[in-house]
Amino acid sequence: MVLAVEGLKVHFFTRAGVVKAVDGVSFSVGRGEVLGLVGESGSGKTVTGLALLGLVDPPGRIVEGSIKFQGEELTGRSEQELRAVRGRRAAMIFQDPMMTLNPVLRVDTQMIEAITAHERVSQAAARARARDALVLVGIASPEERLNAYPHQFSGGMRQRVAIAIALLHRPALLIADEPTTALDVTIQSQVLDVLRRLQEAAGMSILLITHDLGVVADIADRVVVMYAGRVIEQAPTEQLFAHHGHHYTHGLLDAVPNPARHAEGGLREIPGRVPTMRSSPDACTFADRCGSADDTCRTARPELAPGPAGHLVRCWHPLQPANAVLPADIGDGRR
């Protein structure tokens, strides 16, 4: 097991109150596995990813839970100890590479600094490794590109540079936070191909944070669905798409645009909004948006337990397998 998260809670202490952004999240990532972490914006996915590497800024902090990486407990570690893990053994690709790449520094400067921060190597050796990393992610003319600035790259190329930096030390775990956001379909496919090839070649584990179920279908082995800071369903990818148990998961899948499915009634959406998470009720957080909710859902908190299809579901009235099937049009790209 590369990563084991148990009962993780991340709270933000604001003037308006305590925001429970992550509320008792548990999951694991095996060696060489791609785990998809999905949910709407505001469900706590990105905060979970940041917490794993100790990157949650004040007023947020981890208040409870365990994060074990390669058998070592990371919660409670000092900043210096965490820096030894970040970048070298576990790396993260952030949502917007233009925000993470320094616009006033050339690409070679940024890549060489990422190498020398963890290893004592010569500038020439570090530059050679940076060049090889650009080749690895499919960037042509790497020597020329090393001398370029981030603004001289397209969005897809900047994302490749961000991936190359994350892979400089061949980490055991790569946390990819919305790696295909704002990219067109062609570039999105190329970025996913890069991640898939690198994962298969190096046996690297990937935690893929995304709201795009098409991306999950294409690359993930298992899926964890989050809602309002909690895990509400866990299943192997194919099983989740074919026989999901939670009404929220069904709504996410049903909202994916498809001409054949939506020709008559237009696009479908989940009614209501994700709660603010300033309070975490001892009840089902999806009850106000669920057409099947009853008094039990609004007054008692369900636990994550095996559902009708066998995988884990947090729901008082999970969907039966026969009622959870949607047309198999989302996962056509499944490898």
Mean pLDDT confidence for 190-197? 83
106 located within any domain: yes
Q: What angle do CA 69, 85, 159 make, to 5 degrees?
A: 100
**Same domain for 71 and 42:** yes
Whether pLDDT at 242 is above 60: yes
Phi then psi for residue 234, to 5 deg, are -135, 135
Q: Which helix (H) or strand (E) holds 29?
A: strand 17-29
**Same domain for 110 and 7:** no
Alpha-carbon distances of 327 from 26, 36, 237, 256, rounded to whole Å:
30, 21, 15, 11
**Same domain for 190 and 326:** yes
125 located within any domain: yes
**Same domain for 151 and 73:** no
Mean pLDDT confidence for 28-48? 94
pLDDT at 8: 98
**Same domain for 183 and 63:** yes
pLDDT at 332: 45
Confidence of residue 269 (pLDDT cuts 50, 70, 90): confident
Mean pLDDT confidence for 82-95? 91
220 located within any domain: yes
Q: The domain that contains 8 carries what CATH number?
A: 3.40.50.300
Among 319, 301, 330, 292, smallest CA distance to 229 is for 301
51 located within any domain: yes
On the question of a cis peptide bond just before residue 308, with omega within 30 degrees of 0, the verdict is no
Mean pLDDT confidence for 71-90? 93
Whether pLDDT at 255 is above 90: no
* CA-based radius of gyration for the chain: 21
Confidence of residue 61 (pLDDT cuts 50, 70, 90): very high
Bridge partners of residue 86, in order along the sequence: 90
Whether pLDDT at 14 is above 70: yes
The HSE-up count of residue 314 (CA atoms within 13 Å, CB side) is 26
199 located within any domain: no
Number of domains in the chain: 2
**Same domain for 2 and 133:** no
* Domain of residue 322, residue span: 1-89+174-194+205-335
* Domain end residue (candidates: 116, 150, 168): 168
303 Cβ contact list (under 8 Å, min separation 6)? 314
What would the pLDDT profile of 115-129 be if each residue is shown by its tens digit? 999 999 999 999 999
Please give the residue that has the higher pLDDT: either 36 or 195: 36
Whether pLDDT at 331 is above 90: no
Please give the residue that has the higher pLDDT: either 309 or 149: 149
**Same domain for 261 and 287:** yes
Provide the whole-model pTM. 0.91
Whether pLDDT at 325 is above 80: no
pLDDT at 261: 61
pLDDT at 246: 96
266 located within any domain: yes
User: What DSSP string runs through 77-90?
Assistant: --HHHHHHHBTTTE
**Same domain for 250 and 135:** no
Confidence of residue 202 (pLDDT cuts 50, 70, 90): confident
Q: How far apart are CA 312 and CA 315, in angstroms?
A: 9
Bridge partners of residue 84, in order along the sequence: none
**Same domain for 185 and 296:** yes
Answer yes or no: are the C-beta atoms of 21 and 47 closer than 8 Å: yes
Confidence of residue 147 (pLDDT cuts 50, 70, 90): very high
- Percentage of the chain lying above the pLDDT 70 cut: 93
- Percentage of the chain lying above the pLDDT 90 cut: 64
Among 213, 277, 290, smallest CA distance to 246 is for 290
Average predicted confidence (pLDDT) for the chain: 89
**Same domain for 292 and 164:** no
**Same domain for 229 and 334:** yes
Please give the residue that has the higher pLDDT: either 266 or 125: 125
**Same domain for 255 and 107:** no
Q: What angle do CA 121, 122, 126 make, to 5 degrees?
A: 75
What would the pLDDT profile of 315-324 be if each residue is shown by its tens digit? 999 998 766 6
200 located within any domain: no
pLDDT at 39: 92
